[in-house]
């Protein structure tokens, strides 16, 4: 990776676009974006925004992959030997043995080829149904289009959660932080700005480019407007794509097949000279050699490739009838041999349909004013509207609060980021009175509040009040509710510029509690998996109390829960010991999830991982069998070996039993 970076001339590729003053850069482009006809002309000239290695594979790729499988290579080697012994050396050539082996190779190849080609085509159709989109300005209007239809000169609008669809130059930004660990390995988000103070000679690597966003990275927080400067193979990701395509590690089944193949080859190489030496003194040299080769061929299981391919293909067909698509035939054995299934909580154990259940004041009493403030925050924020914001808006509409919107207008916002874990919007009412409304994690909100609002009376926050608030939050967590705190600030009429430093001395007004109920089928599925010898381990980024509540309802042992922060303090051996007796791990980062998968495999387990998010890709790749669903993001489906047509553990178990 590093070597490839050094081969690219970053200054030549991006230097001028990076350091060019914003106004000069904007003057080159239409700030209102392309028209539809301009975009179509550009796509016709430059092609779609797809990296070569990410494009769907052609049929011949699957054919040659099947043709040159491990056992087929041995049989092809035997054919070469037979051409010498049965055709070249004898006076009367014999093609019988060669024809038999060619038939076996052909049968094995076509069985594997047809099944893998069919399964991968089905997976590609699923990806097309859930195409990744981005927000652009076309014909002067904001529209969503598939990422592959992005072209040079497009104006792209970014917000928290957005995928960067191409290489972009920022022209407007608001607290924009981008995660680019895919390209640089940096775990921390990187701030991007619209104006750079860099000089050309100061640019040494892509980490120095603070006005450029790169294809394949994602927005952690903030918002921005940017212009597309490079697409497809011309992007930085496109130029280093082959260095990122390291592939999935070999499974236990693949290693087993490879080991058997190596053993056969070694045995043949040893047997041929031994048999030849033992017979050469008694027979002619040609006769002795031919006999030695015949013995070597005789010990080779010629039918094994056909048996493997036909068995795996038959299993894939049966699994497809159980709503399970197999992308890689080799994964079927690992799927059936799996003894540990690692899965997230949301959407697998739960319905993935968050509902706002409670809106409470600081004493735990229902308060419509708390819902109103949360509604204003969720409605006016322009970042990625997640399940929480949608649940707030839906509940407010049920309570007929939507008419409140007409009484306020948005002034500014301070976008969400993962370090602050909160989001603020600034609005003004009909009297032009400004108000900041902030919602976020309870701990983070408490840190910025100096007062509490109790029945309309504002008083200083005390240590006792904080402890009482934390108890209410914990009790709601134990009921399975995810808790978000809401606060406000009123004395900001004279403030013109709003940033993170404005989020202080705020007034806490209450909480909102969200419920993502467990699936009715999850409890039965867990028991069925356990009865089938598959242990379920929950790996989630959610907090421990909510996770414990859900896991107890589906009968997963929740006596012991280990947090991601605890794992970081332990050696690999210590974590392996914990894994033997712990089924729930909470508040995990993607890196911590991937580490757990790796350690489970090193301890001799066949590990499956079920995930559907961008951050699940490392774990899907590192597991013995990666399992995703048809509604997952593209990168998850690309990394997975098996795709379920329903996000249900029962569907997975049916697939395991049909393998």
Angle at the Cα of 439 (from 433 to 443), degrees rounded to 5? Answer: 130
Which helix (H) or strand (E) covers residue 230, if one does?
strand 218-230
Q: How far apart are alpha carbons 281 and 270 in whole angstroms?
A: 18
Spatial contact of 213 and 178, defined as CB atoms under 8 Å apart = yes
Q: How far apart are alpha carbons 102 and 83 in whole angstroms?
A: 12
For the chain, the helix, strand and coil percentages under 3-state DSSP, each to the nearest 5: 50, 20, 30
DSSP assignment of 596-648 equals HHHHHHHTT--EEEE--SGGGHHHHHHSSEEEEETTS-HHHHHH-SEEESS--
Distance, CA of 412 to chain centre:
32
Dihedral sign of CA atoms 184, 185, 186, 187 in order = positive
Instruction: Specify burial of residue 392 (Cβ count, 10 A radius: 0-12, 13-18, 19+).
Output: buried
Residues 254, 337, 643, 231, Cα dihedral to 10° = -30
> Which residue is listed with tokens 């130059």?
169
Spatial contact of 156 and 192, defined as CB atoms under 8 Å apart = no
| Catalytic residue ranges | 344
Dihedral sign of CA atoms 417, 422, 425, 426 in order = negative
Q: How far apart are alpha carbons 336 and 533 in whole angstroms?
A: 11
Spatial contact of 108 and 71, defined as CB atoms under 8 Å apart = yes
Give 517's DSSP letter: P
> Which residue is listed with tokens 């894994």?
579
Residues 226, 231, 233, 234, Cα dihedral to 10° = -70
């Amino acid at each position: 990776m590093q070597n490839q970076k050094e081969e690219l001339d970053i200054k030549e590729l991006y230097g001028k676009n990076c350091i060019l003053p914003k106004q000069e850069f904007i003057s080159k482009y239409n700030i209102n974006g392309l028209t539809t006809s301009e975009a179509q002309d550009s796509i016709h000239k430059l092609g779609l925004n797809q990296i070569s290695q990410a494009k769907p594979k052609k049929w011949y790729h699957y054919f040659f992959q099947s043709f040159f499988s491990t056992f087929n290579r041995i049989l092809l080697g035997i054919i070469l030997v037979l051409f010498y012994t049965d055709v070249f050396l004898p006076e009367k050539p014999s093609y019988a043995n060669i024809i038999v082996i060619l038939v076996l190779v052909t049968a094995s190849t076509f069985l594997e080829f047809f099944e893998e080609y069919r399964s991968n085509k089905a997976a590609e159709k699923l990806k097309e149904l859930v195409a990744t989109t981005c927000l652009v300005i076309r014909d002067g209007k904001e529209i969503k289009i598939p990422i592959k239809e992005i072209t040079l000169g497009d104006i792209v609008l970014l917000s928290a959660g957005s995928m960067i669809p191409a290489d972009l130059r920022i022209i407007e930004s608001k607290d924009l932080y981008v995660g680019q660990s895919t390209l640089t390995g940096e775990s921390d988000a990187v701030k991007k700005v619209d104006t750079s103070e860099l000089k050309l000679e100061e640019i040494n690597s892509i980490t120095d480019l603070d006005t450029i966003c790169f294809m394949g990275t994602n927005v952690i927080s903030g918002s921005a407007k940017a212009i597309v400067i490079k697409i497809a193979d011309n992007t930085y990701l496109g130029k280093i794509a082959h260095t990122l395509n390291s592939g999935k590690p070999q499974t236990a089944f693949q290693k087993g097949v490879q080991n058997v193949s190596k053993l056969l080859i070694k045995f043949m190489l040893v047997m041929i000279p031994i048999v030849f030496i033992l017979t050469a003194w008694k027979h002619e040299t040609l006769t002795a050699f031919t006999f030695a080769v015949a013995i070597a061929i005789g010990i080779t299981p010629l039918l094994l490739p056909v048996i493997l391919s036909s068995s795996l293909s038959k299993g894939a067909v049966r699994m497809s009838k159980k709503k399970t698509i197999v992308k890689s035939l080799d994964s079927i054995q690992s799927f059936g041999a799996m003894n540990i299934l690692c899965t997230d909580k949301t959407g697998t154990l739960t319905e993935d349909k968050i509902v706002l259940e409670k809106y409470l004041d600081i004493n735990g009493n229902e308060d419509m004013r708390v819902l109103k403030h949360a509604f204003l925050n969720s409605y006016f924020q322009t970042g990625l509207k997640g399940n929480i914001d949608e649940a707030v808006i839906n509940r407010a509409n049920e309570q007929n609060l939507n008419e409140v919107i007409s009484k306020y207008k948005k002034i500014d916002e301070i976008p969400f980021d993962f370090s602050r874990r909160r989001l603020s919007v600034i609005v003004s009412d009909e009297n032009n009175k400004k108000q900041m409304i902030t919602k976020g994690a309870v701990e983070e909100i408490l840190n910025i509040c100096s007062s509490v609002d109790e029945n309309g009376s504002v008083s200083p926050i005390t240590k006792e009040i904080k402890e009482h608030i934390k108890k209410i939050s914990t009790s709601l967590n134990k009921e399975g509710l995810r808790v978000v705190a809401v606060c406000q600030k009123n004395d900001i009429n004279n403030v013109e510029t709003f940033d993170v430093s404005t989020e202080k001395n705020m007034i806490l007004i209450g909480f909102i509690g969200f419920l993502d109920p467990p699936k009715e089928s999850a409890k039965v599925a867990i028991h069925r998996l356990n009865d089938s010898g598959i242990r379920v381990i929950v790996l989630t980024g959610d907090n421990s109390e909510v996770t414990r509540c859900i896991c107890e309802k589906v009968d997963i042992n929740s006596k012991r829960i280990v947090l991601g922060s605890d794992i970081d303090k332990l050696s690999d051996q210590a974590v392996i010991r914990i894994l033997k007796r712990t089924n729930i791990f909470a508040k995990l980062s993607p890196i911590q999830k991937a580490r757990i998968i790796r350690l489970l495999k090193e301890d001799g387990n066949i590990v499956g991982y079920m995930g559907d998010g961008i951050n699940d890709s490392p774990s899907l790749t590192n597991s013995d069998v990666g399992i995703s669903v048809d509604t997952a993001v593209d990168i998850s489906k690309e990394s997975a070996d098996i795709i379920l047509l329903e996000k249900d553990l029962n569907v997975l178990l049916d697939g395991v039993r049909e393998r």
